[in-house]
């Protein structure tokens, strides 16, 4: 299985894991819907995990006139999934705290990327961990 976990935001963190070869890689995509689509086409995941977008009441007023770019990214991800007949697994942000935390694979991921991972990449990794710990 080829699994990709995504944390959409104004930049989108991603972590790709092949559970056969144990290959892991990840990073952060800046604001680019095209780059998101191309990455999905290139990696060809068989499982897609993404964090649910929620507008919290305490944040609503400060987001007036916001274009909600993360929602556009989620639309691209869902469109790609529909085109290849995959049902995305949508997880709430709360699932990250039940993931078991960061581990040696996250340290390996940081070494592979050669730089510090962004918060969105860390969150994508935690969504992957939650999925791997709780899949049936």
Please tell me the total count of domains within the chain. Answer: 1
Q: Name the band, by pLDDT with cuts 50, 70 and 90, for residue 64.
A: low
**Residue 103: which CATH number?**
3.30.420.10
Q: Name the band, by pLDDT with cuts 50, 70 and 90, for residue 21.
A: very high
Query: 105: which 2 tokens?
Result: 């694979």
Has residue 11 got a pLDDT over 60?
Answer: yes
DSSP string, the chain: -EEEEEE-SSSEEEEEEETTT--EEEEEE-S-HHHHHHHHHHH--SEEEEEPP---HHHHGGGTT---HHHHHHHHHHHHHHHTT-PPEEE-GGGGGGS----HHHHHHHHHHTSPPPHHHHHHHHHHHHHHHH--
pLDDT given for residue 39 in this prediction = 96
**Tens-digit pLDDT profile for residues 33-50:** 999 999 999 999 999 999
Domain span at 82: 2-134
Do 8 and 119 meet the contact criterion of CB atoms below 8 Å apart?
no
- State the virtual CA torsion across 95, 3, 129, 68 in degrees, nearest 10: -40
**Tens-digit pLDDT profile for residues 67-126:** 667 889 999 999 999 999 999 999 988 887 777 677 666 766 666 666 667 888 889 989
Name the residue with higher pLDDT: 35 or 54: 35
């Amino acid at each position: 299985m080829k699994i990709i976990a995504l944390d959409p935001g104004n930049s989108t963190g991603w972590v790709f894991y092949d559970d056969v070869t144990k290959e892991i890689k990840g990073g952060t995509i800046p604001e680019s819907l095209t780059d998101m689509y191309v990455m999905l086409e290139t990696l060809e995941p068989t499982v897609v995990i993404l964090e649910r977008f929620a507008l919290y009441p305490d944040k609503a007023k400060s987001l007036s006139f916001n274009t909600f770019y993360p929602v556009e990214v989620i639309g691209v991800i869902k469109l790609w999934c529909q085109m290849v007949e995959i049902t995305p697994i949508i997880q709430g942000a709360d699932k990250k705290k039940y993931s078991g935390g960061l581990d040696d694979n996250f340290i390996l991921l940081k070494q592979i990327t050669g730089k510090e991972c962004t918060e969105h990449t860390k969150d994508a990794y935690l969504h992957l961990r939650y999925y791997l710990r709780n899949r049936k």
